[in-house]
């Protein structure tokens, strides 16, 4: 019984993730906040080996795709680290949220 | 240190020499407002400014391997004195001139003269090498107009 409990505890401990916030930025928020758009880019990093940060660059294209004829304003950019498995594996995640505003209302 | 430990340390050292030079560390990302209207005159622009950074801890560790005990103590003293003047939050390693990022707006103006810059992605990152590093500020954006 005790062994099973310890095993389950270890599994739960290792699979659970701790998130920490690295940076946040926010641009001017528009009056028209009806349509929200969101894009997310992430990368799993093992043993801290990361060779480039190019995954971040597609966020703008994702936001543009969701708002094809307007302006994305009030952009909140959140950069966070999520630690897995004794911090040997972690995920770097950048989230960008904003409001799609019609061309005339900008 | 026995022979097995020596082999392991040499193995780790050789791996780190090949792997560490290409490590990229992300410090900060920010995205500005994006003008997503379809515009034929919109074109992507990119700017990168960088400065040489030095990891004083790694530098002193490397220097200690090549020097005698007295010099090692002097290196420790110098490192402690330097650390007294290095306070506050930082990203990446120390650089000799902190003004390298100030020219980013000017470079943006040069890349997009008379046009409007939108969809700015600002990335602050470090390229890590043994002892040294490249402290980088990268800007990706779209220029609408000329």
* ipTM higher than the 0.90 cut: no
Q: Say how many C-beta atoms besides its own lie within 10 A of residue A8's C-beta.
A: 10
Sign of CA dihedral A99, A63, B117, A22: positive
> In the predicted model, what is the mean pLDDT of residues A2-24?
78
Residue B12 pLDDT level (bands cut at 50, 70, 90): low
- The tens digit of pLDDT for each residue in A42-65 reads 999 988 888 889 999 999 999 999
Q: What pLDDT, on the 0 to 100 scale, is given for residue A10?
A: 72
Highest mean pLDDT among A7-21, B30-44, B78-92: B30-44
Give dist(CA B146, CA B143) in Å, integer: 8
CA distance to B27, B51, B59, B77, per residue, from A42 (Å): 14, 27, 33, 42
Q: What is the pLDDT of residues B95-145, one digit of tens each?
A: 888 889 899 999 999 999 989 999 999 999 999 888 889 999 999 999 998
Q: pLDDT at position A7, please?
A: 79
Judged by CB atoms within 8 Å, which residues 40-99 of A form the interface with B? 48-53, 56-57, 59-60, 63-64, 67-75, 77, 79, 92, 94, 96, 98
CB burial string A64-85: b at 16+ within 10 A, e below: bebbeebbbbbbbbbbbbeebe
Condensed to tens digits (0 to 9), the pLDDT of residues A94-103 reads 999 999 998 7
B46: pLDDT strictly greater than 80: yes
A interface test, pick of B28, B31, B32, B50 with most A CB neighbours within 10 Å = B31
Please write the tens of the pLDDT for every residue from B50-93.
999 988 888 878 877 777 888 888 888 887 887 777 777 788 88
pLDDT digits (tens, 9 = 90+) for A61-79: 999 999 988 899 999 999 9
- Residue B15 tokens, joined: 């791996």
**Computed from CA positions of residues A23, A15, A45, B92, in that sequence, does the dihedral angle turn out positive or negative?**
positive
pLDDT for res B138: 95
Question: To the nearest 10°, the Cα dihedral for B94, B98, B102, B103?
Answer: -80
Q: Which of A79, A98, A100 sits opposite B29 (nearest CB)?
A: A79
Torsion sign, CA atoms A63, A64, A67, A72: positive
Check residue B76 and give its pLDDT.
83
In a mutational test of the B interface, the residue from A24, A31, A40, A53 whose CB has the highest number of chain B CBs within 10 Å is: A53
Question: What CA–CA distance (Å, rounded) separates A59 from A94?
Answer: 9
Inform me whether the pLDDT recorded for A11 exceeds 80: no
Q: What pLDDT shows up at residue B139?
A: 95
Q: pTM to 2 decimals?
A: 0.78
Q: How confident is the model at residue B15 (pLDDT cuts 50, 70, 90)?
A: low
Residue B28 has pLDDT above 80, yes or no: yes
**CA-CA distance, A46 to A92, in Å (whole number)?**
11
How many contacts, defined by CB atoms under 8 Å, are there between A and B? Answer: 85
């Amino acid at each position: 019984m005790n062994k099973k409990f310890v095993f389950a505890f270890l599994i739960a401990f290792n699979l659970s993730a701790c998130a920490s916030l690295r940076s946040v930025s926010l641009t001017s928020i528009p009056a028209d906040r009806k349509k929200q758009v969101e894009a997310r880019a992430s990368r799993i990093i093992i043993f801290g080996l990361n060779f480039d940060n190019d995954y971040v660059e597609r966020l703008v294209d994702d936001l543009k795709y969701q708002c094809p004829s307007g302006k994305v304003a009030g952009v909140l950019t959140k950069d966070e680290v999520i630690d897995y498995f004794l911090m040997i594996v972690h995920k770097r995640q950048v989230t960008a949220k904003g409001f799609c505003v019609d061309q005339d209302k900008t | 240190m026995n022979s097995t430990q020596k082999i392991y340390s040499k193995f780790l050292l050789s791996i780190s020499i090949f792997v560490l030079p290409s490590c990229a560390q992300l410090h900060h990302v920010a995205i500005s407002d994006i003008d997503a209207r379809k515009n034929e005159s919109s074109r992507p622009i990119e700017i990168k400014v960088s400065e040489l950074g030095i990891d004083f801890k790694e530098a002193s560790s490397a220097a200690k391997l090549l020097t005698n005990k007295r010099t090692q103590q002097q290196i420790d003293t110098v490192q402690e004195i330097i650390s007294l003047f290095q306070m506050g939050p930082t990203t990446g390693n120390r650089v000799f001139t902190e003004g390298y990022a100030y020219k980013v707006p000017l470079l943006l103006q040069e890349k997009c003269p008379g046009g409007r810059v939108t969809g700015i992605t600002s990335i602050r990152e470090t390229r890590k090498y043994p002892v040294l590093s490249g402290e980088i500020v990268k800007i990706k954006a779209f220029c609408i107009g000329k």
